Structure 1
Amino acid sequence: MADSEHSSSDENSVDTQVVISKESELEFSEDEEALIIRMYNLVGERWSLIAGRIPGRTAEEIEKYWNSRYSTSE
């Protein structure tokens, strides 16, 4: 029983870490944001090309950031 209680606690802490990392990945510096905007204007939604210009960022992170920040839902 102690093992099952312990693993449940571990699962909760992992879930919390996932939520925190998801929130932090959408935090971009002003320089990164400016570069994303410039690159988007040049190449459009070619996220992998944009990510190649920003060290440490993935195409998925940039696409999520763009869609959360600039997507038009109207």
Structure 2
Amino acid sequence: MAEVSSIEWEFINMSEQEEDLIFRMHKLVGDRWALIAGRIPGRKAEEIERFWIMRDGEVFASKQKKRAQYNSI
């Protein structure tokens, strides 16, 4: 198995629209990353999968918290 460098696993920034589309598509088609990436211009299946895996990470959690605070105003 190939070793993955830490650079490859940096958090992937997605727009709110991209994140929303990923969550909706995943609910419909599961982890068919190539299919989901085909709906987001400029994104690769590997990026979408990595984003999905890292979505519960610290950066994503803080981003979601800020978004929730903004939406509650």
Per the normalisation by structure 1, the TM-score is 0.62
Name the counterpart of 1:29. 15
Higher RCO, 1 vs 2 (CA within 8 Å, ≥6 residues apart): 2
AA aligned to 2:41 is P
Whether 1:52 and 2:38 are equivalent positions in the alignment is: yes
Query: Structure 2: any 5+ residue segments left out of the alignment?
Result: 1-5, 58-73
AA aligned to 2:15 is S
In structure 2, do the counterparts of structure 1 residues 28 and 37 end up closer, same or farther at CA, with 3 Å as the change threshold? Answer: same
1:23 to partner: Cα distance: 3.2
Query: Structure 1: any 5+ residue segments left out of the alignment?
Result: 1-17
Q: How much identity, in percent, do the aligned residues show? A: 58
Per the normalisation by structure 2, the TM-score is 0.63
- State how far apart, in whole Å, the 2-side matches of 1:31 and 1:70 are: 18
In structure 2, do the counterparts of structure 1 residues 44 and 68 end up closer, same or farther at CA, with 3 Å as the change threshold? Answer: same
Between Structure 1 and Structure 2, the one with more helix by share is 1
- State how far apart, in whole Å, the 1-side matches of 2:9 and 2:31 are: 21
Q: How many residues align?
A: 52
